[in-house]
């Protein structure tokens, strides 16, 4: 679509666009309307050189939807709405290193996540994004029809639960007792764009409903490999003051762990979504 008050430029690859010429703290009503449209059109939008205080980060998030506080991440001191995504120089693991989308382990998953760069390494530390609407469209008609009739089990237990702590390495999470499983359609109808999207992910989807983990694994791995082809993915390289706002119903993302010995500190707010509907068969 055409934009009159903002400059929207697709980034290289298959997912996302930069929104230029705007201060997210002082958007006009027309700019706000066009930023919303860009979010729906591209699935993830990026802003550069934004100087946001934590209070302004919260205000920007609330303009989209109520804040959905993450119960597992360490919050920023004095700001329970903001989760820290931190990797210290001596840590080997990083948060979000596998392809995933946020909060699919919740019955009503978060609409989106707004990540603000506070400290970034001298090189590396990019975040990769995948367009799961385009990925679904590219599947064969027969497989699309099969997937439309399926549900999948999503879980937080194996990532954030008590028994999973030994797998965290040097990462710290909270509320290990507040875990559980939910069921979502494998193919959803996106509530804003109306497009079909492939709603499984490598971190939180454990199996198809009615299938064992062993039987589910080959098809899930095929879908993960399909959706992360270069034609559906893009890389965003962070700078201080960069913001990424992604739609958890339209994209996957993965944080690249290629900056050993350096600090990376990001502030993340997730905003509330709605119940998901299956795409019609």
User: Tens digits of per-residue pLDDT, 110-144?
Assistant: 999 999 999 999 999 999 999 999 999 999 999 99
Mean pLDDT on 25-42: 97
Pair 83, 73: CB distance under 8 Å? yes
**Pairing mode, strands 233-236 and 79-87:** unpaired
Please give the pLDDT value at position 240: 93
Which tens digit of pLDDT belongs to each residue from 6-29?
Answer: 999 999 999 999 999 999 999 999
pLDDT score of 167 more than 90: no
pLDDT category at 170 given cuts 50, 70, 90 is low
Decide if pLDDT at 166 tops 50: no
Cα 136 from Cα 199, distance rounded (Å): 9
Residue 99's CB is within 10 A of a number of other CB atoms, namely 19
Q: Tell me, which fold does domain 7-271 have in CATH?
A: Double-stranded beta-helix (3.60.130)
pLDDT higher than threshold 90 for residue 2: no
Q: Distance between CA atoms of 28 and 31, rounded to whole angstroms?
A: 5
Distance between CA atoms of 156 and 172, rounded to whole angstroms? 15
Work out the number of other CB atoms within 10 angstroms of the CB of residue 174: 13
pLDDT of residue 95: 82
Q: How confident is the model at residue 157 (pLDDT cuts 50, 70, 90)?
A: low
> Would the pLDDT of 98 be above 80?
yes
Residue 72 has pLDDT above 50, yes or no: yes
Rg of the chain, C-alpha, whole Å: 18
All residues at 6 or more sequence positions from 118 whose CB lies less than 8 Å from its CB, including other chains: 240, 265, 266, 267
3-class DSSP state of 110: coil
Q: Using a pLDDT cut of 70, give the percent of the chain over it.
A: 91
Q: Is 183 helix (H, G, I), strand (E, B) or coil?
A: strand
Region of poorest pLDDT, from 35-44, 52-61, 62-71, 178-187: 178-187
Catalytically active residues are 100, 102, 253, 268
And the tokens for 123? Answer: 């090189």
**102 in Cβ contact with 129 (< 8 Å):** no
Alpha helix ranges (H) inside 6-154: 29-42, 54-64, 132-137, 141-148
3-state secondary structure of 61: helix
> Model-level pTM?
0.93
Average pLDDT over all residues of the chain: 92
pLDDT higher than 80, residue 71: no
Only one residue has tokens 């980060």, namely 57
Q: H-helix or E-strand containing 80?
A: strand 79-87
Q: Kindly state the helix (H) or strand (E) to which residue 221 belongs, with its residue range.
A: helix 213-227
Q: Is the Cβ–Cβ distance between 235 and 112 less than 8 Å? A: no
Query: Which helix (H) or strand (E) element contains residue 158?
Result: helix 157-160
pLDDT of residue 171: 52
């Amino acid at each position: 679509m055409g934009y009159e008050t903002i400059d929207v430029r697709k980034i290289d690859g298959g997912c996302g666009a930069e929104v230029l010429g705007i201060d997210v703290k002082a958007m006009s009503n027309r700019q706000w309307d066009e930023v919303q449209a860009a979010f729906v059109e591209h699935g993830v939008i990026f802003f550069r050189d934004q100087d946001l205080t934590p209070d302004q980060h919260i205000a920007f998030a609330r303009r989209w939807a109520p804040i959905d506080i993450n119960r597992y991440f360490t919050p920023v001191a004095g700001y329970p709405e903001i989760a820290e995504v931190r990797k210290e120089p001596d840590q080997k693991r990083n948060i979000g290193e596998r392809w995933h989308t946020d909060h699919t382990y919740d019955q009503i998953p978060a609409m989106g996540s707004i990540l603000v760069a506070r400290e970034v390494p001298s090189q590396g530390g990019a975040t990769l994004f995948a367009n799961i609407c385009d990925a679904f469209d590219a599947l064969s008609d027969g497989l699309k029809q099969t997937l439309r009739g399926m549900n999948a089990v999503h879980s937080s237990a194996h990532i954030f639960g008590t028994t999973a702590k030994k797998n965290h390495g040097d990462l710290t999470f909270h509320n290990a007792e507040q875990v559980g499983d939910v069921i979502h359609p494998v193919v959803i109808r996106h509530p804003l764009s109306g497009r079909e999207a492939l709603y499984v992910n490598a971190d939180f989807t454990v199996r198809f409903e009615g299938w064992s983990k062993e039987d589910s694994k080959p098809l899930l791995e095929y879908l993960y490999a399909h959706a992360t082809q270069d034609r559906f993915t893009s890389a965003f390289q962070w700078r201080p003051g960069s913001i990424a706002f992604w739609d958890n119903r339209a994209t996957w993302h993965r944080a690249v762990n290629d900056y050993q010995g350096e600090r990376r500190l990001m502030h993340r707010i997730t905003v509330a979504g709605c119940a998901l509907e299956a795409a019609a068969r």
